[in-house]
Structure 1
Amino acid sequence: MTKLFIKTNRTLSAVLSKYKYSTAAKSIALVDIKGKEFVSDDYTNITPKIISYLGKNLHMQKNNPLSIVRQRIVNYFYSSFTQRGAPAFSIYDNLSPIVTTKQNFDDLLIPSNHPSRAKSDCYYINRGNLLRAHMTAHQSELLRSGLDNFLMIGDVYRRDEIDSTHFPVFHQVDGVRSQRKEELFPGQPDLEIFEPNYDKKNPHTFVNSIKDPMKQSCHTLEATKLMETQLKTHLISLTQVLFGESIKYRWVEEYFPFTHPSWELEIFYDNKWMEILGCGIVRNEILVNAGPTNSIAYAFGLGLERLAMALYKIPDIRLMWSTDSGFLTQFQNIDLNESVTYKPVSSYPQCINDMSFWLPENLTIDTFVSNDFYDLVRDIGGDIIEQVRLKDKFVHPKTKKHSLCYSIVYRHLERTLTQAEVNEVHKVIEKAVVDTFGVAMR
């Protein structure tokens, strides 16, 4: 499918004249991703538009605010953790976003019925492969290679709604820090990481429990509390480096399948509490399965877009993908710790078109997957799609037919769209929706 984020020397109508939407793609046996072929199956839902984002690596592009925030985080860990004068943390920021379901889910103890595995949440290449939904997908392979302390940085992919703060691609920094007994309790031989009934020689035989909200059953309370203190101290210090010493914060207890206990850190920003990271003590089963049997570890994950938008007052997540010099020059050659407030280059008007349709008999307003609709709209409209929202749902009292109405907000980031151009794109989307979902336009 053709990308419709058009520069001023091209018109939408010129692109649309070449655009041929067909549902025949569903029967294609192979999926080509950057020259590598995968066999498709009933789980395949990755789209050409999403594939086009692979390899962009915004977190590594000079003058992009995501790269600036990434470097500030890396600098903090380099300066805060050293071994014999060298940084203790290894940085991995060019890992392939194509991972297996084992890496993304099984290695992290995510249950087979967990909602995060759903096709409506992830971009599947096939049943065995997908675009990583979090950087933690690489945690076990790095632990298996013998690493103790590392940061994983890159692009992650999740199907989601469309608005100014959500995009199907965003960037994360995930980290792991593990310690053995002599590192955690230096000079204190009487203190232990593991409870006496934990068999360190045969760790796979120990059934680890997370019923106790304070700790995992294999860990001593002393080890868990010390790791918790270290974790929270380091992440609060990082937050203060980014947002200033006076930033208000609070910890909220949370649940993640791969850590226990787990927390989220929130900051008071723009007169409301905003979550900026999740963290916790790594489940011991993950460590044992990856190799380390004598360590305890903590892990954390931060979203670069959320941090950059807050730090630099960037109002629309799509701007991170802009190549407009008016945007990028605002972050050019600045001091990493400089306070920068984004200034809009110009404000282009929105065009809003509604789309109403009757669902076929095999679908209802409760079973229709909005993320499927959002992906189709984005695949055709590209980056001129600013927002899609469900405006109305209706069940006809006599026919019992189900109807949905979505508002699609169009806005170009670099020029003014005409209503005629938008109407042309809207018609192509309508046809694609009819062909794909079997709906009838109202």
Structure 2
Amino acid sequence: MRLQVESVRCYSAAQPKEIPAEIQVDGVSYPTDDWYNLNRPIHRLLERKLLADPQNPLSLLKQSIVNHFHTNHRRNNQRTPIFAVCDNENRAVSTFDNFDSLLVPKDHVSRRPADTYYVNKDVCLRAHTSAHQFSLIRKGLDAFLCVGDVYRRDEIDRTHYPCFHQMEGVRLFNQDELFGRHIQPNAQIFEENGEQTPEKQAIHSRDTALALSIHLKQSLEALCRELFGPEAEMRWVDAYFPFTHPSYELEVFFNDKWIEVLGCGVMQQELLRNAGAADKVGWAFGLGLERLAMVLYGIPDIRLFWTTDSGFTHQFAKLKPGDSAKYKPFSSFPQAHRDISFFMAPGVEFHDMRSDAFDLIRDVGGDLVEQVDLIDEFENKKKGKKSQTYRIVYRSNDRIMTREEVNELHKQVEDRLVDNHKAQIR
């Protein structure tokens, strides 16, 4: 990713003061506008591409999952794997692909600039690998694994990071593929004047819903046994996603507790119809690689996936996909806590300030910021003032931070809040 500055525009107190007129993401140039909200750390993260490093635990896990699907899902009596691997899609996508194609409502909170990184009002950084479903199906793919880094304006703690990695799986069937031409010759995948129930979509026959759910669950249970062992205890939980129905989450009992592994479901027929596959039905799943890798490898902090410290990287340097390993801690440096309280600029909403504050703190402190918590907010309606208080935890993974260093970093956060957001430090 290369940042090109053609000119500079200035914005209100609730936005960065200067932004480029144009940026490049994955070799494509995009103009910016008032919606632009990328910061410097996000530009740096776009350049890293962790999945291209075969020794990163995320890359090892990705390849383990790909190997499983290629081994266990093949064309009938052929050596050709069913699932294509799509791991080089452009990370800047249209808002249509990121939201509309997935049937996300127009007023859904995920569309807000407080939650999504926008290049302009029509282009954003993908918030999920599902953003590529529509285009890949439209190209004619009927089985694929889409994997890559995704971006969200999120809270800051040991399990959240503005960039993380997902894998999306999609499998489509025509009528003969789903039922078998000779096994169920009279079965129909669609029905007229049907009713939607918790078990099926209105357009799907009961046989279709049952066959898809069975195939989906068997496929994903096999994946979990591959990752967690043949005796893994699993359970299915009903869920809701706008792009599938019925929808499920798969949980695995691991280290004495139930953990969510993935979300999945029968794809909404409207999505397939819009993508030019109206005569097919299918299922889809999505999983977070960091979530799984932290559990499988015992990694306690999501920031560690980004470190270049040899204390971490050497632990995975000789592993092959599928090898088991447990992370050994290499940092015991102390935390430093600092609180910051301020009055917000007039007209700024609490939820917008939260996202802006998280972004600003990450921009100033980078990976020296371990966690940020909003610990208080109140509104004095008589005086027309809103206030927030954040607790910031600073810690380095490779050295002790001095008190002077922490105080200087914290002062930079205060100064940036004043300069960029017209905050009044309390």
Same fold (TM over 0.5): yes
Aligned counterpart, 2:209: 224
Q: Counterpart of 2:62 in structure 1: which amino acid?
A: R
* 8 Å CA contact retained: 1:30, 1:37: no
Q: CA deviation at 1:125?
A: 0.6
Report the count of equivalent residues: 409
Matches of 2:260 and 2:374, distance apart in 1: 25
Instruction: Write out aligned runs for 1:261-272 (5 A).
Output: 261-272=246-257
TM-aligned CA distance change 1:30 to 1:303, over 3 Å: same
RMSD: 2.0
2:332 alignment partner, SS class = coil
Q: Does 1:413 align with 2:390?
A: no
Aligned counterpart, 1:282: 267
Q: CA deviation at 1:395?
A: 4.8
Matches of 1:212 and 1:415, distance apart in 2: 57
Matches of 1:88 and 1:413, distance apart in 2: 42
Q: CA deviation at 1:102?
A: 0.8
Matches of 1:348 and 1:385, distance apart in 2: 13
Instruction: Write out aligned runs for 1:201-216 (5 A).
Output: 211-216=196-201
Matches of 1:40 and 1:397, distance apart in 2: 36
Matches of 1:347 and 1:440, distance apart in 2: 36
2:186 alignment partner, SS class = coil
Instruction: Write out aligned runs for 1:339-350 (5 A).
Output: 339-350=324-335
Mark the runs of 5 or more structure 2 residues left unpaired by the alignment: 1-11
1:330 alignment partner, SS class = coil
Instruction: Write out aligned runs for 1:65-84 (5 A).
Output: 65-83=57-75, 84=78
* 8 Å CA contact retained: 1:156, 1:171: yes
Matches of 1:63 and 1:239, distance apart in 2: 22
Q: CA deviation at 1:396?
A: 5.6
Q: CA deviation at 1:391?
A: 2.1
2:71 alignment partner, SS class = helix
Q: Counterpart of 2:340 in structure 1: which amino acid?
A: M
TM-aligned CA distance change 1:270 to 1:393, over 3 Å: farther
Q: Does 1:41 align with 2:63?
A: no
Q: Counterpart of 1:356 in structure 2: which amino acid?
A: S
Q: Deviations over 1:109-150 (max 9, x none)?
A: 111111111111110111000000000111111111111110
Aligned counterpart, 2:245: 260
Q: Counterpart of 2:24 in structure 1: which amino acid?
A: I
Question: What is the TM-score with the length of structure 1 in the denominator?
Answer: 0.88
- % identical equivalent positions: 46
Q: Does 1:384 align with 2:376?
A: no
* 8 Å CA contact retained: 2:346, 2:385: yes
Instruction: Write out aligned runs for 1:262-411 (5 A).
Output: 262-363=247-348, 366=350, 369-395=353-379, 399=383, 401-411=385-395
Matches of 1:33 and 1:25, distance apart in 2: 19
Which residue of 92, 95, 106 corresponds with 1:101? Answer: 95
Matches of 2:114 and 2:380, distance apart in 1: 27
Q: CA deviation at 1:417?
A: 1.3
* 8 Å CA contact retained: 1:181, 1:192: yes
TM-aligned CA distance change 1:390 to 1:245, over 3 Å: same
Matches of 2:128 and 2:163, distance apart in 1: 11
1:102 alignment partner, SS class = helix
1:279 alignment partner, SS class = strand
Q: Counterpart of 2:188 in structure 1: which amino acid?
A: E
Per mean C-alpha deviation after superposition, the further-off stretch among 366-375 and 129-138 is 366-375
TM-aligned CA distance change 1:245 to 1:37, over 3 Å: same
Q: Counterpart of 2:39 in structure 1: which amino acid?
A: T
Q: CA deviation at 1:428?
A: 1.2
Q: CA deviation at 1:397?
A: 9.3
Q: Deviations over 1:13-47 (max 9, x none)?
A: xxxxxxxxx97954546132357543222221111
Matches of 1:397 and 1:289, distance apart in 2: 48
Q: Deviations over 1:371-426 (max 9, x none)?
A: 11000110111111100011223456975643221111111122221111111111
Q: Does 1:193 align with 2:184?
A: no
Which residue of 40, 50, 73 corresponds with 2:42? Answer: 50
Q: Deviations over 1:56-86 (max 9, x none)?
A: 2212212100011101100110011111111
Aligned counterpart, 1:59: 51
TM-aligned CA distance change 1:396 to 1:292, over 3 Å: closer
Which residue of 136, 155, 164 corresponds with 1:142? Answer: 136
Q: CA deviation at 1:197?
A: 5.5
